[in-house]
Amino acid sequence: MSGVQLIPGGLLALGAPFLSESPRWLVNRDRNDDAVKSLSKIRNLPADHPYLVEEVSAIEAAVDHEKSLAGAGFFGPVCTVFSDNKLVVPLLLGLSLFAWQNATGINYYSPTISKSIGVTGTHASLLTTGVTVSSSSSTHSSGFCSVGGAFCMYYIAAYIAIAKPQLHPTTTLSSGGKSAIAFFYLWTVFYSPSWNVTPWVFTAEVFPQHTSTSSKPAWQLATDYTRSIARFTPQIFTAMGYGVYLFFAGLMVLSIAFVFLFVPDTKQVPLERMEEIFTPGFPAWRAHSTVMRELRVERRRIKELLRLLRRLPRRRYR
């Protein structure tokens, strides 16, 4: 197993030298020319392309603004966060997403899950491990994937309630047991690219750089605290039986409403404009489309302005 773990680490070590530095990081250190080169490589666009010029200007303006807002020491950024509703709201949403991440996932105790379906033996723990799916997707993917995940949980609960496999443990799987395992794998496919990664992606995007020293520790504490749910999973299985699947399925259904009512989508929103999706009066389900529409209008205006400037005759000086 240790040898297998060296493979992704080795690939990372080989690929790291070819990665581009973050343009925002470079601008933060007054290396603006390097930031332009890095962004040009990332976007595969020339340095004078209208889109690239606009994005670099937005990054520089945002960094200058953030530097003017950041307070001194550790408590300066903390005070900045709690004095601005546009920062308090994403902080609370980030904390709640980590709570939902653990409340909608039961993949911590695969052997316990295997036994609940009626499988015993030394290989029971291998039946429900080994599947990992990750992807880059929008925030609302968590809501959509919760639909499929809840259905899988309801199916497994129905199978256990009807077949009662825990009363007939075996080292082999019946056709019903195989279908239950298949639905658990399918649940993993729904969970991994959504709740498994969305809280981390969301919290990395929504906070400006000058407040990261206060926001990131809060979110790390939140995920460590909410993992306490996993510590009680064996006791929950013992006390509730198939009801534990109904419990997690119900939480997944509730998470659908939470995501669509309170969590705005962040897909393709530039970091420099991220705070706009938390503007008071913007419903979460419409904030993304509103901000993206304004961005498209601004980009069209910039392109038209640059086109006009290029048409102007250039004056020659001796």
| pLDDT tens sequence for the chain (318 residues) | 556 778 888 888 888 888 888 888 888 888 889 889 888 888 888 888 888 888 888 888 888 877 776 655 556 667 777 777 778 888 888 888 888 887 776 555 555 666 666 665 544 544 545 444 444 456 777 888 889 989 999 999 998 888 887 777 666 777 887 888 888 888 888 888 888 888 888 888 887 766 766 677 777 777 766 666 666 767 777 778 788 889 889 999 999 999 888 988 888 888 778 878 888 777 888 888 888 888 888 888 877 877 777 776 655 544
pLDDT attached to residue 112: 63
Closest CA to 237 of 108, 73, 125, 77: 108
The rounded distance, in Å, linking the Cα atoms of 204 and 87 is 13
Instruction: Establish if 52 belongs to a structural domain.
Output: yes
Instruction: Establish if 227 belongs to a structural domain.
Output: yes
Instruction: Establish if 294 belongs to a structural domain.
Output: no
- 115 shares a domain with 248: yes
- 37 shares a domain with 143: no
CA angle 97, 111, 148 (to 5 degrees): 45
Instruction: Establish if 235 belongs to a structural domain.
Output: yes
What CATH number has the domain bearing residue 173? 1.20.1250.20
- 164 shares a domain with 41: no
pLDDT attached to residue 130: 47
Exposure string (b/e) for 109-119, b if CB count within 10 Å is 16 or more? Answer: bbbbbbbbbbb
The rounded distance, in Å, linking the Cα atoms of 202 and 237 is 31
- 30 shares a domain with 54: yes
Instruction: Establish if 302 belongs to a structural domain.
Output: no
pLDDT attached to residue 88: 82
- 134 shares a domain with 253: yes
pLDDT attached to residue 73: 54
DSSP structure string for 138-185: -TTHHHHHHHHHHHHHHHHHHHHHHH-GGGS-BSS--HHHHHHHHHHH
- How many domains does the chain fold into? 2
Instruction: Establish if 107 belongs to a structural domain.
Output: yes
What range does the domain containing 50 cover?
21-69
- 249 shares a domain with 129: yes
- 113 shares a domain with 252: yes
- 202 shares a domain with 265: yes
- 158 shares a domain with 96: yes
- 103 shares a domain with 157: yes
The rounded distance, in Å, linking the Cα atoms of 165 and 271 is 51
Is 203 in contact with 81 (CB distance < 8 Å)?
no
- 110 shares a domain with 62: no
Q: Left, alpha or beta for 263 (phi > 0: left; psi -120 to 50: alpha)?
A: beta
- 95 shares a domain with 40: no
pTM reported for the whole predicted model = 0.68
pLDDT attached to residue 189: 86
